[in-house]
Amino acid sequence: MVRATCLALSLLLVCAGCAVSRPGAESGSDRARAWEVADVDHDGAPDAKEAGEPTTTAQGDDLRAKAQNPVGAMYSLPFEGTFDFGAENGSAFILNTQPVIPVTVGDWNLINRTIVPLIHAPGFITGLPELPANVQGDSTWGLGDINHTTFLSPAAPGSLIWGVGASLTLPTATSDQTGTGQWSAGPSLVFLTQAKPWSLGVLMRQLWSFAGDDDRPDVNQFLLQPFVNYNLDGGWYLTSTPVMTANWDADDNGWTVPLGGGVGRVFNAGKQPMNVRLQAFYNVVRPDFAPDWSLMFTIQFMFPK
């Protein structure tokens, strides 16, 4: 009964997030003005933005905080590439395209986050967030299952920022090895605080399959992502955002627990605000056929209002 209720509420919230029309966004010139400083300084040298220097203004600090907030009301387009090494059948690569579209309705934000994965699977592999229920097969490239999550979050949060939402995964994979063959849905929660210079929080998600290929395994996956950011001068920050997963239907150990971190930087490339980070993780707990370690590289294009 609880599972069915969660699935129904998840589907309703995802549909609501997708159906709400986008409000009038500020023009590109308005966004540029939020980052604009004088064209030259007092001695005629190029300004920091044009020279490719990191942003150090109050707007830049606010932008870095939004980049580290999963329910921040900012349009963005992240590309996240993950190289997974050490699995019994070989290495895997996943490129996630993750557009974020916020919609403000009164005192609330609806944060729409979509993940479109392009996957190279070396055959049967476990322990990957994008493949909660894989099957035996040959090495292949292809589109994975697309996931969409809608979070409901206060537009003016207090010291504790939170979001409650619903997640839906569509069976869009182009091969059995890059997807589950199942429709899956479930709840998602995020909590964080951003007391300078820290940004600390956790994101949780549970997915259950409710329709799909009867010959494929069911999906029953829990995802837990703590995130720790320590902000430094010059737009730099130290970061750790491990993605832990549990396959509750696994016969033996279904947990994957990575440990590691890396470094990132927020800066302007010309007039385009960017967020770039590099992290490495070792799986201290992993199921059979899962990778030993991974390297994650993220490039995020940000479009502040």
- What is the reported pLDDT for 213? 94
Whole-number pLDDT of residue 62: 84
Phi, psi (deg, nearest 5) at residue 241: -135, 60
The third-level CATH classification (topology) of the domain covering 2-21+45-303 is: Porin (2.40.160)
Q: What is the pLDDT of residue 10?
A: 53
Mean pLDDT in consecutive groups of 10 residues from the start of the chain, 305 residues? 53 56 41 34 40 54 91 96 94 97 97 98 89 82 97 96 98 94 98 97 98 94 98 96 95 92 97 97 95 97 92
Segments of 50-180 assigned E as strands: 75-85, 92-97, 100-105, 108-121, 140-143, 146-154, 161-170
Q: What is the 3-state secondary structure (H, E, C) of 48-77?
A: CCCCCCCCCCHHHHHHHHHHCCCCCCCEEE
SS3 breakdown of the chain: % helix, strand, coil, rounded to 5?
Answer: 15, 50, 35
Instruction: Give the whole-angstrom CA distance, residue 124 versus residue 137.
Output: 6
Location of structure tokens 């606010």: 62
pLDDT of residue 58: 66
Cis peptide before 197 (omega within 30 of 0): yes
The domain ranges of the chain are 2-21+45-303
Integer Cα distance of 260 and 239 in angstroms:
9
Nearest alpha carbon to residue 130 among 205, 39, 35, 23: 205
Q: Report the pLDDT value the prediction gives residue 1, as an integer from 0 to 100.
A: 52
Instruction: Specify the pLDDT at position 15.
Output: 55
Q: How far apart are CA 56 and CA 43, in angstroms?
A: 19
